[in-house]
Each structure stands twice: as structure tokens, then as C-alpha cells.
Structure 1
Amino acid sequence: MTTHDDQDTATFTLKHLGPGVGSKVEQIKANSNYLRGRIAEELAEDSSRFSEDQVQLIKFHGMYQQEDRDARQARKAAGAEKAYQFMIRSRIPGGALTAEQYLVEDELADRYGNGSLRFTTRQSIQLHGVLKGNIRTVLYNINKSLLSTLSACGDVNRNVMACPAPIANRSQAQIQEIAHKVAMHLAPRSRAYHEIWIDGEKASTVGETEEDVEPMYGPTYLTRKFKVGIAYPDDNCIDVFTQDVGLVAKVENDELVGFTVLVGGGMGTTHGKAETYPRLGTPLGDITPDQVLKTVESVLTTLRDYGDRTNRKHARLKYVVEERGIEWIRAEVESRLGTELSDPSPVHFDHVDDHLGWHQQADGRWFLGLHVVNGRVRDNLKAGLRHVVEHFRCNVRLTAWQNILLIDIPSEQRKAIEATLGEYGIAIDPSASGTYRWAMACPALPTCGLAVAEAERILPDVVKEIEAVMQEVGVGGEPISIRMTGCPNGCARPYLGDIGLVGRSKGIYNLHLGGDWGNTRQNEKFLQNVRIENIASTLRPLLALWKEERKEGETFGDFYHRLGAEELQARVAARQAQVEELHA
């Protein structure tokens, strides 16, 4: 690895890449002086945006430069600059916040954002609509609350996910604790974050030399993002197979005894590029709780050293695992660990708990899970949650389904909390969400620069149409998961749902079907280029066949998987021919 002085030439040596500059982003990272770049200088400039190189670097600091694409044409016609704004994402391991931290995020959304919070599919919070001149104030206050945005984005370990429910026993608490330890262990060590955003305050480093500032990542960090998730036995509420590293807890007599490690999951793909694809994780081995940090670090550094630094679309760990094979990965990880892994235990999930409604905790107190449509918190929902958290001082957990758990509630406060939420029109009964209970979408338009179609704004209408069809064919009220994204990158993990809708262009989606209820089976593309107004009618004959021919307890995804696309397409065509014959 080169020194900082060598980086000025933008030519550096990376293991297994050889001399060269890699992709453009690799050059930017190499020349950044450990993520400093010219961020501080450009922050001081009187402008509404950062330059292209700094846009890549600020991701590591927890933000994306975006624009209001709804305003693009009008501003262009008026000769005005694009409506630049920033999304700021907090790093919240396991989705765990204190009441005080939640209230800080809530206040910042009102004072400096667009007035809404967004709970993400990785259990974090995004603030949207922040202007450049307010970024430092927002980050300073987030850090003052003992949260951070460092490594919430960028080519580093992202927010560590974990089952959020504080319900059963000590082992579940341990999972949350381990999630936090992993997040801290894999966090970048660069002092740039504190120097730029926290008034020049120096972060602790491993050593005093520049070379020691990133002992794990090195000056060019990872080839792409890296995601870790920890699942509780028989509750795959975090979609553990979609993680770069998934840890499935092994519990005996309420004691956490170890984990089965999965590697190589990832949802992102690119339309029209067969060399890119979503992939579910492969079992690697079993480890003890005290091996977690070193094992995850060993997988991360394997990506660092062997990931593709020339093609960012091919740079995730899943491609290393798929192309080199699980035995090679295991040997590489074991060599870094200095010990052999035990063979992986079988991993089986047939259950996903969204943790909605009232549940008693192991300590006798209660938590209340509330459904949040697409994770967007605004208007009465935002005001009601703020009122409850502020008045009752309940702590918070965020779920991978973009919902919120209000935790640590004494029994005597339950009725008062229900009454308060009722005043704001916030439903407590999970069934009130209907089919939307198992639906989620990414933000997509108007702010995401990758979006080619709507998702968050349109999914409520799509779900209503699907729900109406389900009622008509006799499967109303049946649980069915629906996931929608505005592009193929898969932030809402659409390749796992009973129904996955992946944007191709304005108003047009690919229809994926056949995921299982435990989120352990990838669905498949059933139809391409379905117009938004035709989604419900396209599903109608399939839902009708499900009603007529399913086995007892068979979900829609399992029904589709059992019969397969070719058989179902033939049956749909035959049914359509019968209808046309009747009307001839």
C-alpha cells in the first residue's frame, strides 16, 4: 500500500490489482488524504453544492448530494441552478436510540430538513432536504447526542443491523450489544470527520503516524459498501441472507452460544448487464461470540484485498464469493483468523416477525410496535411520536421493515400512551395496516439520483389496487409481501418479496414473483416492462389461481415457486382464451 505522498500521482498499488489507477472513484479516494479532500474548503465557499470529487467523499461522512428532480425543468427554464440539497443518514447500530437521540433527530428534521424523518430498511434515520450551509450544524448536533453519521454511506461498513425486539431473554440483549461492537470495530479511524464537522476535534487513532490512521481499511478503503446483519433464531426480520456478512444466532437454554456465518449476500444489480445480479448469502462456518469481531474483520479485509477496483458495478463481496467459491473464501478467512472455522450449522427460517403491537419484555416492561408507511414520518404521525417519546421518555428501536418500536414502557403507562396516540390518529392495531403491513419502498423520486421510476410516492396506490383485487378473488386479508424500488439497486430488497416491483423507466416496472415467507429464497423475474396501471390486473389471474389451487397454508410466493413461471403463464393464457371465447 502506498504512502500519502505517493497518492498525489493518483497511481497506487492495490493487492491483486497491480499498478494502476483503478476506477475514477479509486483515484478520488487515493488522493483524498484519508477522506479529507477539499471538503472543508468547499464547505466554506458560497455555493449550494460540492464539486464532483467531493460528492464521492462526503458519502463516507454520511450524506448524499441530491436535487429536487421535480423542480428540475422549471428551474432549467428559468435559468436557475438545480435545487441542490442533502440527505444525511445516521449510523444507528441495531436501530437502537434513546428518547433523547430520537428527539434530536426529530428537531433537526424540522429546523434544517424538509420536516420529515425517514426510517430506512437498514434501521437508520435519514434527514432529507438539508441545505449545504446547515450540514455542519446538523452533524454537530447528531454527534452531540452520541450518534454519528460517519460510515453511514460510502465504501466502508454500513449500519449494522440486528433484530430490534427486546422481548425474550439475555441472548437478545447480547445481539444488540454485539451489533454495536461490530459497528465500532469496523468504523473508519480517519480524523477527517471530526476535523471537518466537529470543530476540529481530534478523534482517537491507533497510532500517531499518517499510515496508522486506517489500519483496517488503508487509504483507499473498500471496493464498495459492506453490510452486516445479525438475526435471532427463527426470526429473519432483518433479511440476513442479503448481507455481505450475516450472523445467525445460535441460542441454547436462552444462552447465546455462537453464530452461523453467511457471506456474499447483496441485492444490487444493473438492468441489461448479466454480469450483475442479486445474490443471497452462502453459509461459511460457525463461530463463538468472542470470534465475531475478528471474523467479520477478516471477511471485510478479504473484500478490501480481492474486490474489483476497476468496475464498481462488479465490486461487491458477492462477486468474490460467487466467482472464487465458498471454499476459497473460507480458506482466506481462516488464514486471516489463524484458526479453522467449524462447519456451518443448517440455517432455516420460516418466520418473519414485524414486532408490531404490544409485547412484554423480559424485564416485565412493554414495547409497542407501530407501522410506518414506507418509513416516512411526518404530519400527525411525527407530532404524535414526538409527544409520546418526549412525555413518556420511552426509548426507540427501528426495524428493517421501516417501522418503530417504543420500548421500556411500564404497564401503568400503556393506556395513557394508547390514548395519546389515538389523539393523533395513529393506529395501534397492526391489522389496521391491511396489505400494506408487509409492503415497503425506497425513496426513489424526486431526490434519489439513481431512481428511474417512482417507488415511495406511488406504492400506496399500487397496494390499494392489489388489495382490491385480492378481495375480489377471495384472498383478502392474506399476508403477502410487496416490495418496490425505483431502480434495480434493491434498497428495499425487492428480490425477496412475494411480489417485487423494480423500476425500469417512468411508470414501467419489472415484476418479480416467488419469494418465501422466511426471506431465504430469491424471487424471479416473471414479466418485464409492466406499466404501473397494469400491475394489479396482471396479478389478478395469478392471485385467482392461488385461491383455487394452493395447498393448505401455502403463501403466494410458495405457490408461484411450486408451479413455476412457465406453468403459470400457460394457465393464465388458457384462462384468458376461455374469457375471450365466452365473449366471442
Structure 2
Amino acid sequence: MSEKKLAANEYLKVNSNYLRGTLEESVANPVTGAVADDDTQLTKFHGFYMQDDRDIRNERKQQKLEPKHTFMLRARIPGGVIDMPQWLQIDQIAEELTDYNSIRLTTRQTFQYHGILKRNLKPLIKGLYQVKLDSIAACGDVNRNVMATTNPIQTQLQKEVHEWSVKISEHLLPKTRAYFELWLDEEKLETPADVEQEPVYGKTYLPRKFKIAVAVPPYNDVDISANDLSFIAIEDGNGGLAGFNVCAGGGLGSTHGDVNTYPQLTRVLGFCKLEDTLDFAQAVMMTQRDNGNRYDRKRARTKYTVDDMGVDAFREATEKHAGKKFEPARDYEFTSQGDRFGWVEDMNGKWHLTLFLEAGRIVDDERRTIKTGLREIAKVHKGEYRMTANQNIMIANVAAEDKAQIEEMCKQYGLLGTEHSPIMLNSIACVALPTCALAMAESERYLPRLIEKFDVLAEKHGVGDQEIVTRMTGCPNGCGRPFLAEVAFVGKGPGKYNMYLGADGKGTRLNQMYRENIGEEEILAEMDTILERYSKEREQDERFGDFVVRIGLVKPVYDGREFHATN
């Protein structure tokens, strides 16, 4: 029997000279707005993707023009914390070097730009680096941006957790100097390619992308179950950090109709002391490096490695790489997965204001001037901005004497969002059309309009005050974490979605498909019926996701291998 053939990306990585490829020549080529095919895969390791505007793709084809190629660049910002000089630079770059003059907050607690012309890539990356920001490993088969709970209440614990998100991110960065040579004009290495080393990643890096989150119970705003590796903070009894429960094998991407792919919840491996955190972070990643599927990229994420090996074998392999054993896991509990909006005072008397951003989009339009408002606030604010994993932004560390000024400025620029319903405030939408090449249906541009109709139904049935986690994505790849939502819609085709129900509102249970390939009329009819039952039959304080499971509309799913089971 012949050996399996490695996925094409594996050969590409080996032959890339540590992620350099022919990127320099591709970006310098003035004949096209695109980069060479192989280089489109390598750009991801540098933090950006090539895209085109699908709204005008056919028009340009009829005109015998190539697609309008632009690029999306995502920054690496562990824990999502930005100081005000950095924000002002981010804002200025959006205005000067992108087509859309907008900033988009992502579900990985960072921001990305869309509409970057090829000639503007290098100036943009240089501009970010001037304020100590980069896009290294923000995409690609490497560890990506490390998330951390945005928790202003337990100030010391939140501070420690953010610091660990930075340490983990820095520790797991690729060692190649390709990024610095190509975009920041660092002097090129004169030595042969085999002299440069990737001591952890090796020449083939990881089988697929690798995501990490750090959470502080009871808040699960980073959705740890959606990550390849997660750290759950455990208090020491005095408000400080004792260490972490370490979890592995979460992830949400799947493929329509392929039962061999599925979302999965993370599994707890054990507890680690603080001084062992980096060792175990590296060890889990190395276990995935050595055992992940390099033949079928659809089954290359850590979740499948854990399932195929078994949790015990994966734990043992990790302990062998780390050279130490996990301690028994400590007790913890999650109670929510959303953000806390409005003003919150922390233990040190500082104030924090979390603002809702529809689909994370920071742009000025006819309704409100979000981008201008955040820029003007950044000019006077003495603290920082914290981006959340739910696409929102927190104006953090506001002194009591500055609170009134910040609130007045938020009102002036329409940032408070007091008109939004509880369903809208608990919503996430991926970018989808027109820029995402994988999108099968609308998401960002459609979900707000659909939720407005949900709100009418919720008010009709007297449940308009209920927080129902609602998410939409244009495809099943999971960027908006749809399979952890109480209600989710995943694009199947133009105007058509699979409808999922039954997650628990705290990120510890998967949902399950309820209806397949339905449009708005059927969606609204289903929601009307279910909300009516919810208003009449729910138990006291029962969440919507728990209700639909209890009455048997879907089964509870705690193992992704049961995700495709028949209701």
C-alpha cells in the first residue's frame, strides 16, 4: 500500500525558506494587484490574506479585468489591550492606506483592516511597527493571537492574566526573521537557509492554525471551548493567580455535509503552576505538531488529534514534551460568555465603559460616527482601549473625575448604543460577503436586520428582556463561533442558512442543527413559534438554550462527535 501524500501546504512550507517564498517579488510585481498563488498561502503567516470584492467580481470579469484584489491584515495584540498613541496610529492608517477607511474588531480580540492595495502593504506594516504593533503569525499554521478575559472587576487577577497572554504569545512566536526582512527592511541573512532554525515549529510549522485563550472564571467571554489550547485561571485565595487548568482540543470549524468534520469542546488535561505555564503551552503545541494530520487539512486541527489519540494519550505526550506532570485539575465554573456593557467600577476605583459595536465595525456612517468618536476620545483618554472577544470595545481605566467627560463624548458621537436590544448586544457576525472568499451567504450585513425582526417577535411574546446569544456566519468555518450560540445561522447558499439551537449561554455546550437550508420567512416562522413556547413554558430564570433542550427540540451536545446525531 502506498504512503499517503502530504497536503500541498506541507511542501510549500518546507520549500518556503522559512516563510519567505517569492513574496518579495510578488509584492513588487506592478503588473497585477495579486500575489503569486503559492505566496497567497505564505502571506497568512505574515498576518494578511488576499481578497477581492465579490460584489463587483462579475462586472470586472465582463470588462475583462482581473478581480479587484485587495488584502485583509490582522494585527497580533495579545489580550486585546491598546494604548491611546497606538489607537491614533491605527485610526490614521485606516484612513490613509485602506479603501474602506474602517477598522474591524474580530472575535480573536484584535483588529483587522480590509481593502489594502498591494502597494500599501509594506507602508501599513511599517506604520503599525512604529507604535510597537505587528501582524506576525496573526494567521497561518502557527499559534495566532492569544486572547484573555476582559475583566475589570478583579483588577489584579485580570492584570496577571493579560500579562500571561503576552508571555505565551511571545514565547510561541516563529523565530524566522522573514517578517522583519520583507516588511521592515532588516538586513537579509547571508547564510544558507538551513542555518536558520525554528526550534519549536520546524520547517513544516504546524499542521493547521492554533488558537489559545486565557479565561478568568466565572467569565467565559473568550469562549475557551473554541480554542486548541486554553488556560483557566485559578485563584490562590487572596485575589491572586495560583496557576491554570490547562485544556486542549477545542475548535469550531467544519464542512457542510462532511460528518468527519465537526465542532468540538476543549478537554481539561490538568492543573499547572504558574512557573510551568510556558512549558506546558509549548508542549501542547509540540504534541499537535508531531501528531496532527498533515494529509487532510480538514481534519488537521488539534481537536481531531485529541479525539484520534484519546485524551489520556494526548496528556501523556504533552507531559513528555514538558518534562513534567500535570497536577489534578482544580474546580471552576463559568456563568456567562458575553460582555458586560455600560460602566463598571473595579477594585481600585477606576471605571471601565464597554461599548457595543455592531459586528465589530468601526466606521462613520449616517447613523453614528463611531470611528471619529473613538479617535477624539483617544486624544483625551488617559487609560487604554480593550478589545473584547465579542467584537466590542472597552474604554478602560477611566479616573472618577474623567468619567463625566468620557460619557458625554460617547453620547455626542452615538457610541453608547442604548437603543440595542439584549439579543443584539449578545450577537456576533463574521465578515462574510463581499470580501471573504469562503462565504456562501451574507452575515455582517444581514444579521442586524434579522435581529430587528427577532426583537419584534420577542416583544410580542413578552420575552424582549431576555439575553439570547445569537450568531451568524457566512460558512461553517466557525469564525464567529456559531456552534457555541443559543441560536445560530450558518450560511448554506445565497439567502439560505442552517439553523442551530441549544448551546447554554456560557460556552460549555455545543448547539445542534434544528433546520437545514432555510430562508428568512422560515426562520421567522420558527422563531415565532419557539419564542411563544418559551414565553409560556419556561422555568424561572431558564435560558433560551436550556429551554429548547429541555423540551426536546434538540439534544444537548457535549462531545462534537455527537454534533451530527439525529435529533
**Does TM-score exceed 0.5, indicating one fold?**
yes
* 1:59 and 1:154 in contact (8 A); partners too: yes
Instruction: Give the one of 414, 425, 438 matched to 2:414.
Output: 425
Contact 1:21 1:27 in 2 (8 A): no
What CA deviation, in whole Å up to 9, does each residue of 1:165-209 have, x standing for no partner?
333232221100000000000011111000000012579xxx998
The match for 1:450 among 435, 438, 446 is 438
Report the secondary structure of 2:497's partner residue: strand
The equivalent residue for 2:562 is none
Other structure's SS at 1:70 match:
coil
349-358 or 292-301, which moves further after superposition? 349-358
What's 2:563 paired with?
Answer: none
Mapped partners of 2:394, 2:552: distance in 1: 38
- Residue matched to 2:549: 561
TM-score of the superposition, structure 1-length normalised? 0.91
Residue 292 of structure 2 corresponds to residue 307 of structure 1: yes
- Determine helix, strand or coil for the equivalent of 1:484: strand
Does 2:172 match 1:183?
A: no
Q: Given the alignment of the two structures, is residue 107 of structure 1 paired with residue 96 of structure 2, yes or no? A: no
Aligned residue in 2 for 1:132: 118
Residues 368-383 of structure 1 mapped to structure 2, 5 A cutoff: 368-379=353-364, 380-383=369-372
What amino acid does structure 2 have at the position aligned with 1:407?
A: A
Aligned partners of 2:3 and 2:229: how far apart in 1? 29
Q: What residue ranges of structure 2 are gaps of 5+ in the alignment?
A: 557-567
- Asked if the contact 1:371–1:433 (Cα under 8 Å) also holds between the matched residues in 2, the reply is no
Match of 1:512 in 2: 500
Shift of the 566–135 alpha-carbon distance from structure 1 to 2, 3 Å rule, reads: closer
Tell me how far apart the structure 2 counterparts of residues 567 and 67 of structure 1 sit (CA, whole Å): 40
Q: Any idea what the Cα deviations from partners look like across 1:139-163, whole Å, max 9, x if unmatched?
A: 0111111111010000000100001
Paired residue type of 1:466: F
SS for the counterpart of 1:69 is coil
Assess if the C-alpha contact under 8 Å between 1:418 and 1:428 holds in 2. no
Report the RMSD for the aligned CA atoms in angstroms. Answer: 1.8
**Matches of 1:161 and 1:516, distance apart in 2:** 21
What is the letter of the counterpart of residue 398 of structure 1? Answer: M
Which secondary structure state, in structure 1, belongs to the residue aligned with residue 483 of structure 2?
Answer: coil
Query: 2:110, 2:72 → 1: CA distance?
Result: 12
Kindly indicate whether the alpha-carbon contact (under 8 Å) linking 1:165 and 1:355 is maintained by their aligned counterparts in 2. Answer: no
> Any idea what the Cα deviations from partners look like across 1:357-381, whole Å, max 9, x if unmatched?
1112333221111110110010001
Partner of residue 495, structure 1: 483
| Identity in percent | 39
- C-alpha distance 208-357 of structure 1, shift in aligned 2 (>3 A): farther
- Asked if the contact 1:453–1:503 (Cα under 8 Å) also holds between the matched residues in 2, the reply is yes
Deviation readout 1:309-357 (Å, 9 max, x if unpaired): 1110010000010111100011101111112211223442122351321
For residue 406 of structure 1, what is the amino acid of its counterpart?
I
Q: Which residue does 1:166 correspond to in 2? A: 152
Partner of 1:441: 429
For residue 407 of structure 1, the aligned residue among 371, 393, 396 is: 396
C-alpha separation in 2, matches of 1:528 and 1:557: 18
SS at 2:484 equivalent: coil
Q: In the alignment, which of 209, 215, 219 is matched to residue 225 of structure 1? A: 209
Matches of 1:35 and 1:551 in 2, distance apart?
Answer: 55
Tell me which of 234, 257, 272 is aligned to 2:218: 234
Q: Is the 8 A contact 1:217 1:304 kept in 2?
A: yes
**Shift in Å, 1:479:** 0.8
Shift in Å, 1:105: 1.2
Query: Which residue pairs with 1:76 in the alignment?
Result: 61
Measured after TM superposition, the shift of residue 394 of structure 1 is 3.2
* Letter in structure 2 aligned against 1:244: D
Distance in 1, matches of 2:268 and 2:523, equals 36
Unaligned stretches of 5+ residues in structure 1 = 1-17, 569-584
One-letter amino acid of the structure 1 residue matched with residue 150 of structure 2: P
CA distance in 1, matches of 2:94, 2:521: 34
**What is the rounded CA distance, in whole Å, between the counterparts of 1:178 and 1:265 in structure 2?**
20
Aligned to 1:34: 18
* Contact residue 512 and residue 555 of structure 2 kept, 8 A: no
Structure 2 CA distance for partners of 1:170 and 1:543, relative to 1, 3 Å: same
- After superposition, what is the alpha-carbon deviation per residue over 1:73-109, rounded to whole angstroms, capped at 9, x for unaligned? 1111111110100000000100011111111111111
Q: Which range moved further: 178-187 or 412-421?
A: 412-421
Residue equivalent to 1:538: 526
Cα distance change of structure 1 residues 202 and 367 upon mapping to structure 2, 3 Å threshold: farther
Say if 2:514 and 2:554, in contact at 8 Å, map to a contact too. Answer: no
2:309 maps to 1:324: yes
